[in-house]
Chain A
């Protein structure tokens, strides 16, 4: 018997061999992701669908206990639109988001440009500027609340000494200033994150392009507008979308500083949904507001994903 006639060596078959060929091999990847899919369905998809469905039912805790939950169509949305607080909250949400996004992007870009320089000790400043972002949001908000105190707050003292105001002002207690006062805190807290994103993008801009622009005699602002911004546009857009989403979801700042007051002057849709759900225990109305917010955020998230794809394309 020569070598060619010897029986081929075979590995011993195990139970997992069933996944190596044929139908087993085809379902193997699905088998691996199945646990993750179940978890995502349970903790993400189900709550979202349940929340959307609840917005069409008359759900209060009382009715939840008695099991007397009735389908009411669009009645919850109608009740929400009839509530003057909703209109006020919608308007405030618009102001809140626009101011936050514009200010955080503007300041974030300015800081990123400032810190994108090779000077001694720049690492210290880069780290220092991140402090607001790493401070726990509850600590930050409560600190700002005391800073705004109408009797002993440092903000008032500073502004009086600078001659900006004549007397102490209740920034959080005045319906005309409460939303803007909270917005300042939110901008302070969120800007370092934007700065970080843009600084990372700036560091990827080829130095040769900047040098070429300088040699062509382009002044600073032209270099920024025609050279730097196009180079970081995808990161800038991502920062804008993320800031938008984080601002809409920034519950802590408003809730801990003003609870949406006084007289709904700093109420946003998120805090209103919370009040409907956990103060009035009207889960139908809370779900209606949350559904509207969800649709807005889905649009923004879709935009975000498209931008991600565009960046990959680049």
Chain B
């Protein structure tokens, strides 16, 4: 009898194990490297919870932001690459247009209301949903409180005029201090989009038409360029700063009193200058408030062998649990649950301005050629205007270039 019982238990165990393994899928996932910093990164714990709940296994690999887009294109085009990938919201259109992402429109229809509209829309291309937002961010104004006070200004700027006045007031040639640190080329381009929208301008409208040569957009670019060309309120690094470290450096060194950047700067400032006294404020507004939104989405490879399990994974990571997960990273969840007053109040203080201005967030145009428009066209616009080219000429040339790219298929 005991023998029969033993055999029964062994058989049952084996059948459960075999049955489990038959259902379990091994999902390969690529994420941007900051999410996997160290063995104790919160994502590891979250994936363990997912594995325990679903029986699937997840093989996660970190890829740096700078290499992610290129690696995804190359790997997915050759039929390799991950089943699930984290991708900058600006890359979704390009990858979807190339047929490399799985259409998840039907699965996401019932849950659309759970996400903030801007970040959710970043995963949509050509009326189809290809990604869900993992986290969102936007740019705000970081102010060195001491430099502002020394310049005789009582409060952080809230309008363009105040922003310019503060930048000029904090600029001191003898002390080699400047008002605002800005990036060069595509870094500067990313920073100026908010100003175009704030001035009532557009880059590419919903009908897919380029509108960069219109006066509102030209005026915004001119306003920012003159802070360097006329007021000399930006440090010379504006000519060369090609990454966030270089954009942040003058602010960290207390040579620039303000910088327009996102929540990713908080860790950099704490590490680079722990004694730095700064405050974070919503971006000073023009005709209207606006801030460019960024962040990462999760998407699934078009020809994945595990579409169901992969969707379960992106749903797990972007759903209600993302509020707590992203809080551990000091980042902003893209769910609507994260925007309630209680949820905002629970955020660390420096993060609150980002969430409070989230409603004014605007996504960059979701078009296939966006990466090229951003790097080649707008990067060149910014490089040209800070070297003295009239904004009107630069934006007219950009308009022609963008139209050519939009026509190209």
A residues near B (Cβ < 8 Å) are: 61-62, 64-66, 149-152, 168, 170, 172-175, 258-259, 261-263, 278-281
Contact = CB atoms under 8 A, between A and B. Distances in A.
B99 A62 contact: yes
A154 to B, nearest CB: 15
Contact of A65 (B98, B375, B379): B98
A270 to B, nearest CB: 16
Given A61-B73, A65-B98, A262-B184, A151 B235 contact: yes
B302 to A, nearest CB: 9
A289 to B, nearest CB: 16
B383 interface: yes
A70 B100 CA distance: 20
**Which 8 pairs from chain A and chain B are nearest by CB?**
A173-B239, A150-B236, A173-B240, A62-B98, A170-B239, A262-B383, A61-B77, A170-B236
Interface string B346-377: 00000000000000000000000001100110
B99 A261 contact: no
Contact of A259 (B242, B250, B387): B242
A173 B236 contact: yes
13 contacts: A61-B77, A62-B97, A62-B98, A65-B77, A150-B240, A151-B236, A151-B237, A258-B240, A259-B242, A262-B185, A263-B383, A279-B371, A279-B372
Contacts of B184: 173, 261-262
B273 to A, nearest CB: 14
B70 interface: yes
Contact of B387 (A62, A152, A263): A263
B240 to A, nearest CB: 4
A131 B342 CA distance: 59
Contacts of B99: 62, 65-66
Contact of A261 (B98, B237, B383): B383
B315 to A, nearest CB: 26
B100 A65 contact: yes
B176 interface: yes
Contacts of A281: 73, 98
Given A150-B236, A279-B371, 8 more contacts: A61-B74, A62-B97, A151-B235, A170-B237, A170-B239, A173-B239, A261-B185, A263-B383
A172 B371 contact: no
A151 B375 contact: no
B94 to A, nearest CB: 8
Contacts of B240: 149-150, 170, 172-173, 258, 262
Contacts of A150: 235-237, 239-240
Contact of A263 (B77, B238, B375, B384): B384
B77 A64 contact: yes
B136 interface: no
B380 interface: yes
B255 interface: yes
Contacts of B236: 150-151, 168, 170, 173
B65 to A, nearest CB: 15
Contacts of A149: 237, 240
B100 A151 contact: no
Contact of A151 (B242, B255, B372, B387): B255
Given A65-B99, A170-B240, A151 B250 contact: yes
Contacts of B255: 151
Contacts of B238: 173
A90 to B, nearest CB: 18
A149 B238 CA distance: 11
Contacts of B77: 61, 64-65
A258 B239 CA distance: 11
